[in-house]
Structure 1
Amino acid sequence: MKKRTLGQGLEVSAVGLGCMGMSQAYGAYDEADSLKTLDRALDLGVNFFDTAEAYGPYRNEELLGRSLASRRAGLVIATKFGFTFKAQAGDHGAISGTDGRPEHAKEVAEASLKRLRLDVIDLYYLHRADPAVPIEDTVGAMADLVRDGKVRALGLSEVSADMLRRAHAVHPIAALQSEYSLWTRDVESNGVLAACRDLGIGFVPFSPLGRGFLTGKQVGTDGLEEKDFRRSLPRFQDENLAANRLLVEAVTRMAEARGVTAAQVALAWVLAQGNDIVPIPGARRIRHLEENVAAADIALISDDLDRLNDIFAPGKVAGARYPEAFEKLTKT
């Protein structure tokens, strides 16, 4: 597996593994299958694994702890704090707010270390900034964890360029995580990607396959389980779905002409945006993991990139990323 380097010298596989779907969000999950997928990821050279306390909640960190703790050497395990959520059985960790208080940052880190069965968290993200807490205060507490040897490097998720710069002034930030894919390209125009590069911060795109839509296999909400959260996403609804399906069909035709899959084209496009970018597509099954990892060896030519940029130019994708209520909840 090819390697790339995030900020603060974190060397990671060019394609990481987002683990949320192994424990929530996309309907029923099978931990036995997930454990097999995690084992296969290690065999393929994937060393960058992304989780959070909110995934499950808690179950995903516990799953990674069971799978990865015995093969710890060389791994970069990232987890996150900063959401509040309903933790009762059956609620699937429904997000209820944000909590960036310094004491909360430290409490969650201690709990995550136990669930992950680690002595140190390699990359500790603030999942979403808390509008009620200055970012300097939150990052200051996270920096204390670095000094105490409990965290190796710090990250932020879905913050503005200004907030990223303010945070970085308190303590070096190694990685900024945000949604980025052919159909979500906000970071190209809102200054976030440019700020990462100015400051030497690695960029980690989540949902680089558009929550499965860019694979060409997920044509809408038909067939999705009742509790699959994609049922609530505007881009999967009605007239938005019809418009977006036409965009993905163009990617599928390009992939077929090259003997690869639409998912691999979509990931290869993300990888081609810079060596400081490390996507973390999710995969619950081995065949999807292997398909994603193979994308690291696909080099798109400039004509391919230009064509994809044109197909997914700003304004051509229909619908917002999230329902309005969630957008308001997490807006900083």
Structure 2
Amino acid sequence: MFLSLESVGVRYTRASGGRAAVDGITLGLAAGQVGVLIGPSGCGKTSLLRAVAGLERCAAGRVLIDGDVLSDAASGVHLAPEQRRIGMVFQDYALFPHLSVADNIAFGIGALPRAERQARVQQMLDLVGLGHAAKRAPHQLSGGQQQRVALARALAPQPRLLLLDEPFSSLDVDLRERLAQEVRSILKESGTTALLVTHDQLEAFAVGDVIGVMNQGHLEQWDDAYTLYHRPASRFVAGFIGHGVFAPAQIVACAAGPCVQTPLGELHDMENCPLPEAFPLGECDVLLRADDIVHDDASTVRARIERKAFRGSEFLYTLRLESGEQVLAHVPSHHDHHVGEWIGIRAEVDHVVTFPRVAAVR
């Protein structure tokens, strides 16, 4: 792996009383890959990013880039941030307001000969699509354009690794996903290995080749977006990614092998997502995502609409089954039913995901 984190820990010793912000995290990125860390506030994702940058010392473990040891808690190695050849894009972009766009990009490459520096600045301007704005001041640009200037400035010194801390958080919601896709294109075109922190799942899915879900300082899963969504490694990941609920169910013996009895009927998916061998027949909780539930007026299973959220092309319905369980459903927005109305639904589950029964979570 180009970037390797081996059992990395970060500990804050003052106000937290020695609390571990990051505990035993191991992950890797191949050259040219884009990794994303997501998780709830306070889960440790920014602390981990700061440890990779050298802004925090590792209390445990090692950080390596291309085989070079940047941090090693056991031996006391800790390269200063400026020695790591790592670029950073901050949440507020940190552009210099008194410098032009071109001069902002040139700021970190002042040691290059003038002609080479100018050529590099022009290359970065072309890369981020801002060749027309070279002489403008940052305040004359939109938020999305400022974000691309910050990215160009970070890429200009040709860092071995680029770190991005919540780079889209100050942008309008409608702009974030589009800018995330643009940033991914820029990183891929430049062949840059990058690690990004965000709290937004759509941003993570738009940018990342591989995504890590963090919880209370631990890395719950490090995988591609499809696997995180359809084959979550833990109950936390299953609940954090996407819209869904855990419904009480039973693993029972069926003609073709074990299957899952749910309030919506039997679920079979032994080929695509086999049930864990450690699970005996008996009680479990099954993950039912909103896209697993299909509105079907012909179905004998009925559910009452408790809440509805308009999402443009669809509604997100919160439904209550006659048996008392709650489920969610994505329904095309031309199916505009009223709160309190009973509708027919059926399960169409391509990946059956089960976990041991937790009585308190329903």
Query: TM-score, with normalisation over the residues of structure 1?
Result: 0.34
The structure in which a higher percent of residues are helix is 1
Query: TM-score, with normalisation over the residues of structure 2?
Result: 0.32
Structure having greater relative contact order (Cα 8 Å, sep ≥ 6) = 1
The structure in which a higher percent of residues are strand is 2
